[in-house]
Amino acid sequence: MKRIAVLASGYGSNFQAIIDRVRDGAIPARIIRLITDNPGAYSIERAVDAGIEVCAIDFRSFGTRSDYDQKLEQAMDETGADLFVLAGYMRLLNDKTAAKFAGKMINIHPSLLPSFTGLHAQKQAIDYGVKVAGCTVHFVDEGMDSGPIILQRVVDVEETDDENLLVKKIMEHEHQALPYAVQLFCEDRLSINGRHVHIRPKDE
């Protein structure tokens, strides 16, 4: 059974979606640790309620970014996790950490990558006037939201949609897409070839 560690910074609704799918048996894995940079994150309560170990590394308590990065990498190493899931983790990993865990770290982003990377992707989409938006689950590499794409989900953008409404519409799909990508990884059904991620049929 695979061992999963989750990195989250805030409310943790995507984290909860993974917890629920592990609990109901859809994801054949065990969540062994939540790592957060925010000791006030509601994600911590979700972890405690689910009996998951919490490691809070307060970003604000470090004098330099490199000191924080070193402590984060150490905390990730200690887990021995097969998969790291970035579920609303709001800090870029440094190149060294991204390379070290290449192929075993995935992220959810609220846009159809490669469009609208970075923060406030939903607002970027509204401002640009797109007719469709969505979310992307991808492997993490050294770039910003630039790793090989595992899967995407699409929503229509109506003329009456504002940023808040689009956030809600996309989030409904995030809560399905991220756990499914985690499931595929834990079932050993994903393989990476350059920029392409191949999903093997379940009975292959």
Query: Where in the sequence numbering do the catalytic residues fall?
Result: 109
Structure tokens at 11: 């409310």
Tokens encoding 130: 């797109």
CA dist., res. 182 & res. 188, Å (int) = 10
**How far is the CA of 1 from the CAs of 47, 116, 126, in angstroms?**
20, 35, 41
Q: Taking phi first (over 0 means left), then psi (-120 to 50 degrees means alpha), and beta for anything else, what does residue 180 get?
A: alpha
What are the CB-based long-range contacts (under 8 Å, 24+) for 189-195? 190/150, 192/103, 192/139, 192/148, 194/148, 195/148, 195/149
To 5 degrees, how large is the angle CA 88–CA 140–CA 74?
A: 80
Own/partner long-range contacts of 61-65 (Cβ < 8 Å, ≥24 apart): 65/94
**Quick check: 22 and 30 in contact, CB under 8 A?**
yes
Find out whether 132 and 156 touch, Cβ atoms under 8 Å: yes
